[in-house]
Amino acid sequence: MYLCRLFLSMNPTRPNLIAMILSFFSIYIIWGSTYLFVAFAVEEVPPLKMAAMRFLIASLLIFIVSPLLIKWKEVKWVEIKHAMIAGFMFLTLGNGAMCYALQFIDSGFSALIISAQPLVIILFMRILEKVEINPKVIIGCALGMLGMYLLVSQKNLVGGPDQWKGLVAMISCLFTWGYASLYVKKVEMPKSIFVNSAVQMAFASVSLFIGSIIFGEAYTDWMNLSKLTWFSILYLVLFGSIAAFTAFNFLLQHISPDKVATSTYINPIVAIFLGWYFRDEFISSQTLIAASILLAGVYFINSNKPKIRKDV
């Protein structure tokens, strides 16, 4: 609730510095840890159904407390519509694909693929919006790609006959999430980050449940899930969805999408170490070198002072 009060008390044109720091911590560290807990959860719950339940609970929790935080009369229908579209891209197509992929590839490896997202966003910005790209940003993306290549090129990192399914799913997630990051900058989104996040997650939960039915996912006996699975889902609800996704939406209102996307360079480092410690996933000296290069990429991308938007 402390982070909520920070968001509510700030001037929209001059975001609170502490809230900015906590938001970056959320998308850097907390989101990096969610790969581990998704991997745990999909061991017992089909991926689309697990993601749907996660976002349903998270959105309901926000809606329950929203009368204390939000003036719903000020929310426009067009804002709700855009939030629903963003939720479908971010969470149904993006996060749903990631959850599906974690059935076939390691949690750390899936995070590594997503580390190419800043480059995808910059390419979209250049091609679709004709934005001039700062040379330091290009260097940062190049370092990020080099670091990702060093990580991905390790033969012991992935394995299994169906890993290609995970790779295809993660690549689709990469482009969907990247385009959605630019979409929300162009359209009128709910001014309240709580409305924004809750609507996105509520719509995504419905579409993910529909997807689960269409793809014929197996029946889940929710009452007999292990403690680890329930803990993983609870962690994803409270920290991955409510805390980190709300922080992500907040940052997109104030910071350039390519800078917000630098979380995808830090997430693999967090995911790899947690996967190694808790799931015995592969780690090596080459992984450590690659992680250092990824961090250097983040430095170059963030080396320019972020531009605060004046129209929100």
Residue range 221-231, pLDDT digits in tens = 999 999 999 99
Which of 31-35, 144-148, 234-238, 279-283 has the highest average model confidence (pLDDT)? Answer: 234-238
Which of 195-209, 264-278, 296-310 has the highest average model confidence (pLDDT)? Answer: 195-209
CA distance 173 to 63: 27
Collapsing DSSP to helix, strand or coil, 14 comes out as: strand
Residue range 71-91, pLDDT digits in tens = 667 788 999 999 999 999 999
Query: What are the residue ranges of helices labelled H in 154-243?
Result: 163-186, 193-214, 227-235
Query: What are the residue ranges of helices labelled H in 215-256?
Result: 227-235, 246-254
**Cα distances (Å, whole numbers) of residue 142 to 4, 24, 170, 241, 272:** 36, 22, 20, 30, 21
User: If you average pLDDT over residues 39-59, what whole number do you get?
Assistant: 94
* Backbone φ, ψ for residue 11 (5° rounding): -75, 125
